[in-house]
Structure formats: C-alpha cells, structure tokens
Amino acid sequence: MAYDFDLFVIGAGSGGVRAARFAASFGARVAVAESRYLGGTCVNVGCVPKKLLVYAAHFQESFAQARGFGWTADDVSFDWPTLIANKNREILRLNEIYRSLLLTSGVKLLEGHARLVDAHTLEVNGQQFTAANILIATGGWPQVPDIPGKELAITSNEAFFLAALPRRVLVVGGGYIAVEFASIFNGLGAQTTLMYRGDLFLRGFDGSVRNHLRDELQISGLDLQFKRDISQIARQADGTLAVTLNDGSLLETDCVFYATGRRPMLDQIGLDNVPIALDDNGYIKVGADYRSSVPSIFAIGDVIGNAIAEGTASARARLQLTPVALAEGMAVARILFQPESFRPLDYSLIPTAVFSLPNISTVGLTEEQARSAGHKLRIFESRFLPLKLTLTDLRHKTLMKMIVDADSDKVLGCHMVGPDAGEIMQGIAVAIKAGATKAVFDETIGIHPTAAEEFVTLRTPVGA
C-alpha cells in the first residue's frame, strides 16, 4: 500500500521534533501534528521558562552577596509582570525556532489535533492522512488529586502565567517540580510553604543530598512541612484560600500550587480505535525498540512512563527528562530509517539536575542504590563554604559526594548540592560514562580556585 508519509509524529515537543527531523534527514517523508504549542512542555511550561524564573529568584541572594564585595544594592524591587512578559517573548522566539527547524528539515507541519483512525490512518482538522509508521510523542500533563476545592489549585501550567506574584504560596509535593517552584516563589519574595506527605522530599535521590537540601532550604526561610497533606481547599470571603489539612488543622494562603505527579497526555487521540496496550498507570507499553502492541505505532517520552522493556541496554528505570526524550526520538528515527546506525539507549548513567536554590545535580548510583546492589564502598564527601560567600554574611554550604566501588576503584556515582551544580556535573558525567576510576579523578589536575576542583581533590573516605 502507498502511504502519504513514511512517519507521522503526533506531538511537536522535544522528542517528536527530534524524531521528525532525523527521519527527514534520512530521506523519509515525515509529518508532525501539534495542537497546542511548538516545543512541547519543556519549551513552553517546563524546563526553559522554569530555569528563567530560577535565574530571577536567585537575584535576591545575589543582591545580598553584593554588599560583601563593596556594592550598594539597596532599594531594589521586583516586578513580576515584567518577568512574565520577558519570559513570554523568549518562549515565542523559541516557538518560531522550532517551526523553522521542522520546515527547513522538509517536515510537513500540521497545526491541529491528530486522532488515530486505525493503525495507519490519522485525522487532523477533518482531513485524513496515512502513514507507514506513527509515533506518539504527546508528553505528560500535571494532575491534581481529587479533593474538594481542587479547581482552586494551580499547577506548573498556570504558574507561568499568573497575573501577579502571590503574597503567600503553599506548594504541595516532594519531587523535582515541587522543590524547584518552592525555591522560585521563596526567592522572589513570597511567603512560601512546601508541604509533602512523606518523611522527606526527593525520594530516590542520595540521602546526603536530600538532607543537605532540607537544611539549606530552611536557612533560606522556606517553611518545610513533612508528613502532612491537604484534604480540602475553600475560597474565603476575602478571596484567600482556606486549606484543611489531613490532621484537621487549617492553613490560610493566597495560592495552592500542586506538583504531585503527571499523567500521560493521551486525551482524544483515538486510542479506542487501535488496540494499544497500556500499563496500570495509563502509560503506553513499548518494547526495546519503542514499538507499541500495534506494530506500526511507536511511542517515546513521557507517554511511556519510567518502565524499560526487556532487551534494553540497562536494567535501570528510565527518567522522564527532555534529553531522554530527545535520545529516544533519535533512536526511533534510526530504527526505522537507518537501522545500521542504531544503538540501544543505556539508561543507567543519565545525569540530571534539580534547579532548586541551591541546585542539585547527580549522575550514577546513590549510596543507597550501591549498597542495595551489593557493592563494597568507599564514600567521599565534602561540605564547604564557597569562596564567593567568604566575604558575605551568607553561610550556605556546598555538598559534593562520590560513591566508589572499593574492589574495582570505579566511580559509581557523584552528587552535588550547590551553585552551578548542573554545569559542573555534565563533565563529571562524561568521566563516569567512560568508566573513570577514583585514581583517574585523583590524577586529574584541578582548576583553581573553583568549586569543581573539589571532585578531583577528595582524598579521605568518610564512610565505607
């Protein structure tokens, strides 16, 4: 059968655009349908605008530091509408870049909602198209627990477009997004509470990292409340919100921000017309080649969750991150149109950062994971006051930690909490991916004076 396209991509986010562009460069006829915004969550309501807001929030501390270096930074003020307007202008610029990337690659862009008709047919804006292969890359969507008053809460989608900065904010959740937005609101001057139903946020991160960040956030004035949750939200006569907690106590705030999880965005794309298997959490099940239970339909990114199919190069869970979706999009393009260049993705050493204030970055195993895997360990850890703060009254400490296999001397993981953690960890990730031993780190000359040199000057184990 002759098809209109060799590949039809549903979703013009990071993964979908990468798959489409690479497939087109391999000579395939490609179309992409997008009904919301070019660039997906990351560009529009995710990592890019969030990082811009993190930069904005950091200025409060920068002004405080400036006095120690002889600068007078009194009478400073912050204007939320200016920040949001400038952010919006930058996002529009990026939207157009994504449009240009697709069009100059020879990809046909269809701006409308795509719906599966069958395993090879889609409908967009009332017109039907056929494709030999279909890729679902529609991403995720934030969700709020089903409690009375849930409609009064906001998520990350709405936070980027608030007309004004709330005076008081209650952030609910314990993952990346929760700690990042709590840092943002707190840094911009809002009275901020971070509430999490568990014992401590960032489950799955190294214990030293979690505890260190808790202490640093408290020093920054963030109100942390653990083992608590919301049972109800109500609007009061003065417009503020009355929040009833699970212990019966009340809390007043101006904004409730939920960051308690995301779901796969598969609404109304015609899954009822094709027998695509989903897992218990509603994510699309895929094999090692990202193929769904329908052979002509593939899926990547946030719609496939964290599980990894048998046959992949790693037994570790995948991460729902933009660079992961990019790699998966490239992988699908190669599987379909240049199979000789395809290599299975290794999910075991994915570096990541949490842009809280201070930043977190990590690569490889945590101490807890390494012990669980049976490794005999040497643990190296350093906590120090960064040089930049020595002339100030601020006493925020940086944490660096290295997990080493005692038998092979191989570095299993590195973790950092402190300024520019993500920038530093990217290079560390290359070394660990290449199989560097602790001896290699020890023999590497540091760049002085920098925080990064601490990773090559860790000498005395603090634990085994």
Question: Which positions are annotated as active-site residues?
Answer: 448
| 254 in Cβ contact with 264 (< 8 Å) | no
Q: What angle do CA 265, 137, 139 make, to 5 degrees?
A: 35
157 CA to centre of own chain: 14
The packing angle between helices 47-66 and 176-187, to 10°, is 40
d(CA 231, CA 253): 15
| 20 in Cβ contact with 30 (< 8 Å) | yes
* Dihedral over Cα of 115, 117, 120, 123: its sign: negative
Name the 3-class secondary structure at 355: coil
Q: What are phi and psi of 80, to 5 degrees?
A: -60, -45
d(CA 172, CA 446): 41
182 CA to centre of own chain: 15
- 246-255 burial: b if 16+ Cβ within 10 Å, else e: eeeeebebbb
Rounding to the nearest 10 degrees, give the CA dihedral for residues 140, 142, 146, 149: -150
| 373 in Cβ contact with 342 (< 8 Å) | no
Q: What are phi and psi of 369, to 5 degrees?
A: -65, -40
Query: CA–CA distance from 89 to each of 101, 138, 188, 296 (Å)?
Result: 19, 24, 20, 39
- Containing 334, the helix (H) or strand (E) segment is helix 322-337
d(CA 150, CA 30): 41
DSSP H helices in 350-420: 367-372
Cβ neighbours for 399, distance < 8 A, ≥ 6 positions apart: 208, 209, 212, 381, 382, 383, 415, 416, 417, 418
Contacts within 8 Å (CB) and 24+ apart, 28-31: 28/333, 28/336, 28/337, 29/4, 29/5, 30/5, 30/6, 30/105, 30/106, 30/107, 30/108, 31/4, 31/5, 31/7, 31/107, 31/108, 31/109, 31/110, 31/129, 31/131
